[in-house]
Each structure stands twice: as C-alpha cells, then as structure tokens.
Amino acid sequence: MAETIVGADSLRAFTQELFARVGVPSADAAIQADVLVWANLRGVDSHGVLRIPWYVELLESGLMKARPNVRVVVETPAVLLIEADHAPGPIVTTRVMEQAIGKAREAGICWALLRNTTHQGALGYYTSQAARAGMAGIAIVCSPPNMAPYGAKAPGLHNSPISIAVPAGRHGRLMLDMATSVAAGGKLQLARDKGLPLPPGWALDRQGNPTTDARQAATLMPMAGPKGSGLALMFECLASLMVGNPLLIDMLHGRETVRRHRQNGIVAAIDIARFTALERYREDADSTVDGLKSLPGADGADEILVPGEWEDRIEADRRAHGIPLPDGTLARIRPVAERLGVSMPW
C-alpha cells in the first residue's frame, strides 16, 4: 500500500483550515485538528484525518453543527450535564474536560455528562488532558447499536469504548483506550481496505451469521461474551439514560432503521493530590509498570506492554519522522479539500 509522509504541523494546519471552511470558528477548528492529528500521531489512524470526509458530510447535513449552542444544563460542585447541541465531539469534549479538571481541583472529582455530542475521535486525548493535569481521567461514549448483545445475532448495543488515564513518572502516563467489542470498527475497515480476512469471532454478517469476510461484516461481537455485552449496556445506562437521551431504543424497537449519528458521553477527572502526594503516585505507577515489565514473558510474547505504551512509541517516531498516510486516505480527503478550496500539503 503506497503512502505519503506528512508532517504533523502541516497536517494540523490543513485540517484546521478545512474545518474553518465549513463554518467552524477558527479556535474550535484548531482543537478539532489537534485531536484528529493526535490520533494519527499515535497510529490510531482509524480515528484520524481519515474521518474528515465523514465529518464534513455530517456538518453539511446538520447532524453535526459548526456553531452549536453548547450550554450547561446541570451543575453542582462535582457534576456537569452539558447539552452539546451536536457540536463536533473533539471540540466540546476537550473544553468540558478542561472544565472538569478545574472543578475536580475543588471537589476532588468532577463527573461530566455530555448530551447530544457527535463523534469524539480517540477518547485517550481527553483522559490524557487529565493525566497531564496530575489527575486520573475517565471517558466513556455511547452511540446507536452496532454490536450484537451476548446471545443475539443482530445489533442491539454499541461497542461503547472506555478510556482511563493516570500520570506516571519516568513512564509518562498510563492510558487505556478500548472498545467493548472484540475488535474496534476501525479494524474491520482496515481489513476491508487491505482485502484481508477477519479472525473468527469478530463479526456477524447482515443475516446474523458469523463471518470472516470483512466485506460481509455488519455487526461487531462483544469482547469476552457477556462481559463486553454487559459493560456496553451499563455504559448506555450511565451516559445516555442518565441524560435522558437513550440511543439504543429507537433501533431496538424498529422506530429507526438507519443509524442516525448521535452520541452521549462521560468525561471525569479525579484529583490525585486530594488523596495522596502526586509524586508518590507517580513513583508507585512507575514501580508497578517496572514490575509488570520484568515478569517472565509468555511463550511467543516479545515483551510485556502496558496500556498506551505501543502508541507512545509510534508517536515518538511519527513526531520525529512524520505521519504516513495511505493513498486510500489521501484519495478520500482530496475531493473534499478541492471542493472547499483548501490545498493539500503533500
């Protein structure tokens, strides 16, 4: 697969300009660009600039709003409910996490709920904001169904991801970002693009039969059977039902047959310094990581990695040497850039 190497800065500037052209205020477009390019830097290309054409489509259709009326609906010293009014997910989520970090400094925790947000990109961006501020960060997001509940052969749950990040010392920070499906949707798209088969157990076709043909894959399978299925359902309860905006019901009861893009989410920050000395925390995190990495490796395993470590290495490499964008991705972005009159930086 041919690819082009693009520097992060020029990719960010290009992305910002592109969102500005569809009406997103410049400061907001800068955040949007930073979140997308961050995903590319970390090798999570499925959540990077690949998504630009879809986002532009959502903005032009009105399912995502360039100038939303974001407002606080509920606020206590420790919680927020934000009506996101279909704002671009990265923009509103970055801002709400900043607000949550500020509130957590006072109350020890801030648990912020986002209602009617849109695709947030890589959740680890927001939990990393908390870790940089010396806090633990938690993020969860919910969408309409794309995953079969355990025991079913049709979609009924979303493979709602969760990210948790905490600061370390020498090890920087630990950051988990995982979907509740066996494999994230982006990995199916990648297999489709590469013409590769799927491992068994990843997906069902439209008839509800297990398939290893990426082109036939229609419904994701939950990780660890009832566990991934159960977590996904409880995340919907903690996020969507809590904000009075359930996202599974319409499709489950046949009131909606095509997924209309909308999301609810949670971002939380917990201020470590309220409970223990932050320096001690960082040392304990380092010591835990060192201990884990020194364990005897399983047969066939090269190395024991902790959450986020693999992506940290990709990020170091791509910050130094640029981001490789496959021709397929460039081909998807080009028509949008041309139509909006933004020149491609490659």
Residue list 90-119, contact with a copy of itself (CB under 8 A): 106-109, 111, 113
Q: Which of 33, 81, 97, 325 binds a copy of itself (CB under 8 A)?
A: 81
> How many other β-carbons are positioned within 10 Å of the β-carbon of residue 292?
11
104-108: long-range contacts, CB 8 A cutoff, minimum separation 24:
104/78, 104/135, 104/269, 104/270, 104/271, 105/271, 106/77, 107/77, 107/78, 108/78, 108/270, 108/271, 108/274, 108/275
Q: Which pair of structure tokens corresponds to residue 1?
A: 């697969």
**87 in contact with a copy of itself (CB under 8 A):** no
Cβ-based nearer residue to a copy of itself, 85 or 193: 85
Query: By the 8 A CB rule, do 40 and 24 touch?
Result: no
Place of tokens 């950051």: 175
Query: By the 8 A CB rule, do 87 and 29 touch?
Result: no
Q: Which of 144, 228, 265, 322 binds a copy of itself (CB under 8 A)?
A: 228
Q: What region, left, alpha or beta, does residue 64 occupy, with left being phi > 0 and alpha being psi -120 to 50 degrees? A: beta
**166 in contact with a copy of itself (CB under 8 A):** yes
**63 in contact with a copy of itself (CB under 8 A):** no
Query: By the 8 A CB rule, do 11 and 35 touch?
Result: no
From the list 298, 132, 153, 271, the residue with the least C-alpha distance to 211 is 153
Q: Which of 36, 66, 141, 164 binds a copy of itself (CB under 8 A)?
A: 164
Nearest distance in Å: CB 154, a copy of itself: 5
Cβ-based nearer residue to a copy of itself, 154 or 218: 154
Nearest distance in Å: CB 8, a copy of itself: 26
Q: Which of residues 250-289 bind a copy of itself (CB under 8 A)?
A: 252-253, 270, 272, 274-277, 280-281, 284-285, 287-288
Burial tier of 12 (Cβ tally within 10 Å: 0-12, 13-18, 19+): buried
Nearest distance in Å: CB 280, a copy of itself: 6
Q: Which of 243, 323, 325, 330 binds a copy of itself (CB under 8 A)?
A: 243
One-letter amino acid at 180 equals T
Nearest distance in Å: CB 10, a copy of itself: 33
Instruction: Say how far apart CA 197 and CA 183 lie, in whole Å.
Output: 13
Nearest distance in Å: CB 37, a copy of itself: 24
Of 25-33, 58-66, 171-179, 320-328, the segment contacting a copy of itself by CB under 8 A is 171-179
Nearest distance in Å: CB 250, a copy of itself: 9
**Binding string, 194-223, against a copy of itself, x = CB under 8 A?**
--------------x--------------x
Nearest distance in Å: CB 307, a copy of itself: 4
Q: Which of 182, 220, 325, 336 binds a copy of itself (CB under 8 A)?
A: 182
Q: Which of 230, 324, 326, 345 binds a copy of itself (CB under 8 A)?
A: 230
Stated as kind and residue range, the H or E segment containing 30 is helix 26-41
User: CA–CA distance from 272 to each of 13, 23, 162, 277, 307 (Å)?
Assistant: 35, 39, 20, 7, 19
**151 in contact with a copy of itself (CB under 8 A):** yes
Strand 109-117 with 210-211, pairing: unpaired
Q: Which of 41, 101, 139, 157 binds a copy of itself (CB under 8 A)?
A: 157
Q: Which of 23, 102, 200, 244 binds a copy of itself (CB under 8 A)?
A: 244
Secondary structure class of 338 (helix, strand, coil): helix
Nearest distance in Å: CB 157, a copy of itself: 7
Contacts of 281 (CB under 8 A, 6+ apart): 166, 167, 272
Nearest distance in Å: CB 67, a copy of itself: 26
Q: Which of 38, 150, 337, 342 binds a copy of itself (CB under 8 A)?
A: 150
